[in-house]
Amino acid sequence: MNAKQMAGYAAAEYVKDGMLVGIGTGSTAHYLIERLGQRVAEGLKIKCVSTSIESSEYAESLGIELLDTNDVPVLDICIDGVDEVDPKFNGIKGGGGALFREKIVASTAKFNIWVCDDSKLVDKIYAFGLPVEVAPFGYKHAQKKLEEAGFVPKLRMRDGEIFVTNNHNYIFDTDYTNTKFGDDYQAMADFLKGTLGILETGFFLNTTDLIISAGENGITKIENPNK
C-alpha cells in the first residue's frame, strides 16, 4: 500500500453506519472513496456529498449513494486531501481545482479530516502558489487588482487551454510571497475574497479537526487542539 492509500483507508474507518459523509477530491481522496466503496459492498449504510464531478463519478461506480449538498444541511464527517498544511493547521487546497466545492462541503461537516502523505506536512505553506477561483467574466480586472497588491496570479492552463473548474470558473495559481500582508494568511484571504470577481481561495485556515498522514514510518494522526 502506498502512503496516500494508507491515509485514505485509515480515514475511511472513521465512517460509521448511518453517517452522512463529505467526500473530497484528488489522488488521496480517491483511496478514501475506494475503501468506502468496499465497505458499502460489505453492508455499510452511508450517504455522501461529493466535492467534484470526478469524485461523484468514482463513488457512483462503486455503488455509493450521493446526495446534493443543498439537501444536506449538516454532514457527520468530511474527509478530503490537502496540498500543504503547517503546524498551525493552515492549509492550502485546490491543487485539483475543486476548492470551492470542497470549502462548501467541509463547512457543513461536524468533523473534518484531511488525508495526505507526509510530504504535505510543511513548516510554511506555499506549494505551487495559492489556487484562487475567479469568475471568467472580467477576470483580467481581478488579476490587475491582485497584481497591484503584490500578488502574482497565474491563470491555470491545461493542455494549452484555460483550466475550467466544475463551476465553470477559472483558477489563478497565485504567488503571495511579496505582498504587504507578510505571512498573515487570514488578511490575504480577506483581501482576496473582497476583490470583485474572486469567488474563493484555497486557504483553509484552521478548518480541519484531524490530519491523517502516512509515510515511511506508518500513519500519523494529528489532532487540532484549537477545534
Residues marked active site are found at 102
Residue of 22, 35, 55, 80 interacting with ligand 5RP (CB under 6 A) = 80
Contact between 98 and ligand 5RP by CB under 6 A: the answer reads yes
Neighbours of 80 (CB within 10 A): 31
Contact between 129 and ligand 5RP by CB under 6 A: the answer reads no
8 is written with which cell numbers?
Answer: 485514505
Q: Using CB under 6 A, which residues numbered 36 to 65 contact ligand 5RP?
A: none
Alpha helices in 15-112 (DSSP H): 27-41, 53-61, 99-107
Residue 175 CA to residue 178 CA, distance in Å, equals 8
Residue type, 117: D
Torsion angles phi and psi, residue 22, rounded to 5:
-90, 130
Residue 159 CA to residue 100 CA, distance in Å, equals 22
Contact between 93 and ligand 5RP by CB under 6 A: the answer reads yes
Question: Helix 53-61 vs helix 27-41: angle between axes, to the nearest 10 degrees?
Answer: 30
Residue of 83, 84, 133, 209 interacting with ligand 5RP (CB under 6 A) = 83
Residue of 10, 21, 26, 105 interacting with ligand 5RP (CB under 6 A) = 26
Least distance between ligand 5RP and beta carbon 95 (Å): 3
Residue of 5, 21, 48, 94 interacting with ligand 5RP (CB under 6 A) = 94
Question: Which residues are near ligand 5RP by CB under 6 A?
Answer: 24-29, 80-83, 93-99, 102
